[in-house]
Amino acid sequence: MAPSLHPLIDNGITPGSSSFSGGKLHCHCASDQVEITLNSNIAHNHACGCSKCWKPSGSLFSIVGVVPRDAVSVTANASKLSIVDKEATIQRNACKDCGVHLFGRIEKDHAFKGLDFVHVELSDEKGWQEPQFAGFVSSIIEQGSHPKEMDEVRAKFKAVGLQTYDVLSPVLMDLISTFTAQKSGIRFANL
């Protein structure tokens, strides 16, 4: 059987709702779940093939989007959270018991500082922005996917209408490079 990219991708994508304004995320524990409340829909939702983003078991990709950090609060069982890798750019807060990542936060100077990374499949609510593209696709090879399977993986994304990139989408890459340019002193008129 062909490997699953992700349950939210495999059978086609369900569009979100532009009027949706947030909801709750829960970890996978049977009891005392960590609960996160998001007071906003997400943006830039995408499939990520990197080794660091949380993915459900059996899936090759994570689905991850961003939300302003001010819109994120831990509303139950905060004591179960622990940062996976304190040195990483994105400090991924995971449940110590079930391993699910509840939110990833950037504290250092970075183009995406101020945005938290979340997996809205952890929510029962419907209306979250649907995945917009697939990033870090080639990274799945680093986790054991055969290089010869990559055409099939990219074709599957294409079949559900998603572009694939081996880092991020042009919009996000431009944001990162704009940030880097500004840091080096370049000033752009009319941004």
Ligand X SMILES: N[C@@H](CCC(=O)N[C@@H](CS)C(=O)NCC(=O)O)C(=O)O
- Residues tagged in the binding site annotation for Zn(2+): 27, 29, 48, 50, 53, 95, 98
Residue type, 118: V
Q: Which of 136, 153, 164, 172 binds ligand X (CB under 6 A)?
A: 136
Q: How many CA atoms lie within 13 A of 13 on its CB side?
A: 23
Asked if 90 touches ligand X (CB under 6 A), the answer is: yes
- Contact characters 24-43, Zn ion, x per CB under 5 A: ---x-x--------------
Task: Please confirm, yes or no, whether 48 is among the known catalytic residues.
Answer: yes
Q: Whose Cβ is closer to ligand X: residue 125's or residue 142's?
A: 142
Asked if 102 touches Zn ion (CB under 5 A), the answer is: no
Say how far apart CA 46 and CA 43 lie, in whole Å. 9
Structure tokens at 148: 């010869």
Q: Hunting for tokens 């752009």 — which residue is that? A: 188
Q: Which of 129, 119, 111, 61 is nearest to 94 (CA)?
A: 119
Asked if 24 touches ligand X (CB under 6 A), the answer is: no
End-to-end CA distance of the chain: 48
Q: Which of 25, 42, 53, 118 binds Zn ion (CB under 5 A)?
A: 53
Asked if 142 touches ligand X (CB under 6 A), the answer is: yes
Q: Which of 9, 38, 48, 111 is labelled catalytic?
A: 48
Choose the one of ligand X, Zn ion, none that binds residue 152, judging by a C-beta under 5 to 8 angstroms depending on kind: none
Going by the DSSP 8-state scheme, the letter that residue 143 receives in this structure is G
Say how far apart CA 133 and CA 149 lie, in whole Å. 19
Task: Please confirm, yes or no, whether 158 is among the known catalytic residues.
Answer: no
Active site residues: 48, 50, 53
